[in-house]
Amino acid sequence: MASITAMSGPRTRKCDTTGLPVCLDAEFFVKMNAVSAVVFLLLGGIAALTLALTRWPAVHLLDSTWFYRMLTFHGVNMLIFWILFMEMAILYFAGTTLLKTKLFSPKLAWAGFGLMISGAVMTDYIILMGQADVMLTSYLPLVAHPLFYLGIILFAVGALVNIFNFFATVYVAWKNKTYGETMPLVAFGAVTAAIIAVVALLHGAVALVPTLTFAMGWTAEPDPMWYRLIWWGLGHQSQQVNVVAMVSVWYLMSHLTSGGVVLNEFVSRGAFVLYILFINLASAHHLLVDPGVGATWKIWNTSYAMYLAVLASLIHGFTVPAGLEAGMRLKGYTKGLFGWLWNAPWKNPGFSGFFLSLVIFGFIGGITGVTLGTQQINITAHNTLRIPGHFHATVVGGTSLAFMGLTYYVVPLLFRREYSFKWLARLQPYVFAVGIVLMSLGMSFAGSAGVARRTWDIDAAGIYGATSHLMLGVLGIGGTLAFIGLLIYVLLTVHAVLFGQKNHGRAMDDWGTPKDIAPAEGDTEARELLEHGKAPGTMVLVLVLLACFVVYYFANWKALADLWHVR
């Protein structure tokens, strides 16, 4: 600990764009984790394309064996490896640059990264060898090769080591007061994500270690119901780590791309704390039709506690665009309700990635998530394609798209390389977003027609009509389009990292930040709105969201009433 000092010395530099100090040790591990994330994203994306083209009956690409193998491979690479590697990169950035301190221990960072990459390679290898066709949840009594569980455990232990390194770095920064009186909001969000990640990974250890020893033949089979309950303490919370990291990226990108501000630090921090307190309970909504847990337990966790976690997302869903509106109004874009939005930098991939992520997460992922989390409605939707239709909007349209937007700043700022083919980079978030929206809607409508998830061939049942086939075609087209967007992102990023023009000694190229057109003394009306925490344009958008939610929610109850005729 004595080696940690203020942010100065030979292992630091000053960012030529932001003026923030950069710890070179942390910068190295940001790069290592970010590159690994992109590699696993590409692997998971290739698997996703094969799955989309198999669920599209007109193509039906894979046979049944490879369909379930790719389903397992896709889930593990996209939901665990891609996102957690990127989140480790965010922790190293937030823990050092934003807190103006050095990395606690490069040796721990090496250990954590080595365990994560070893575990990821081991898991992928054993899946591709056909020894672990158990899908991401690996529900018992399905049993995979022991190396499948060992790989995930090694990956999780590596993540825990990195998180410990992050907490130690934050502690030293706090002790030395390197960041002033209060921790920056983005770093606070990173701490929140790290706390939830620890709880999630401990659930993973409790579920997977006995399963590993069972797979080795050393112990008896764990109780399948117990396994499902504990596993969702890992599965659900790990996705909430993604949500918290995504929200932190929203705040960061709003400021970097448009000068967005934080309307109320106390409210935003309080919303992060709500995630810590109630996300664990909300994992119960994955077990709403499970006969192993009682109705009282389900109702308490999903009808009351879950909504306090939802409240956190609703708060951020207002404060992030409201802060963006306030920042743009302070720059002088004050005309009408939406002048700030029309003049936002839509050609900036960092902005479009973050804002499209916010819209898709809120309007599709959020509305469907709350609705499907209602027990009565969940009974009609469980194990149908409506469920992946929901979480592809949250995890892919939300988290992955936000991380893509972030990358367009990470590469120029930390790799100090510029993107080539900027016109293609400006187009990429829109291609990916349209593809994901089509895919999510195709899944949701096909699921509403009763099409099951995780099913290789619906025609074998002989009960699905033209609507189901049409919606699965939309799923296939959307999935293909999203993969093209993903491939553009990967190729542009790899090209920039390896061959991009260096920007050492100068600021990064401007993607298109809105100019300040306000009077020298500032816009009085905008300052008054900010002082009172008002954002009239955002308030209208929030009311539109609530109207959409009400219509969707009660349409589902109407459908349920038609199904269950009550006299």
pLDDT at 379: 87
**Mean pLDDT value across the chain:** 92
Q: How far apart are CA 394 and CA 411, in angstroms?
A: 25
The larger pLDDT score, comparing residue 304 to residue 334, is at 334
The mean pLDDT value for 237-253 works out to 91
Q: Which residues, in sequence order, are CB contacts of 485 under 8 Å at separation 6+?
A: 428, 429, 431, 432, 433, 434, 435
Q: How far apart are CA 51 and CA 71, in angstroms?
A: 7
pLDDT at 3: 40
DSSP symbols for 451-505: PBSS-S-STTT----HHHHHHHHHHHHHHHHHHHHHHHHHHHHHHHHHHSPB-TT
pLDDT at 318: 95
Q: Which two tokens stand for residue 25?
A: 């040790």
Contact 492, 424 (CB under 8 A): yes
Exposure pattern of 113-135 as b/e (b: 16+ CB <10 Å)? bebbbebbebbbebbeeeebbbb
pLDDT at 306: 72
- pLDDT per residue as tens digits for the range 1-29: 334 445 666 688 999 999 999 999 999 99
pLDDT at 2: 38
- pLDDT per residue as tens digits for the range 88-120: 999 999 999 999 999 999 999 999 999 999 999
Q: Per mean pLDDT, which range of 224-233, 375-384, 474-483, 557-566 is the poorest?
A: 557-566
Give the residues across from 101 on adjacent strands.
6
The mean pLDDT value for 73-96 works out to 94
Tell me what percent of the residues of the chain surpass a pLDDT of 70. Answer: 96
Q: Which two tokens stand for residue 224?
A: 């399948």
pLDDT at 78: 93
**Crossing angle of helices 24-55 and 466-499, rounded to 10°:** 150
- pLDDT per residue as tens digits for the range 444-470: 999 999 999 989 888 877 778 899 999
Q: What is the pTM of this model?
A: 0.94
pLDDT at 530: 73
**Across 215-340, where does the E strand assignment appear?**
none
Q: How far apart are CA 470 and CA 448, in angstroms?
A: 13
Quick check: bond before 141 cis, omega within 30?
Answer: yes
Is the model's pLDDT at 260 over the cut of 90? yes
The larger pLDDT score, comparing residue 443 to residue 297, is at 443
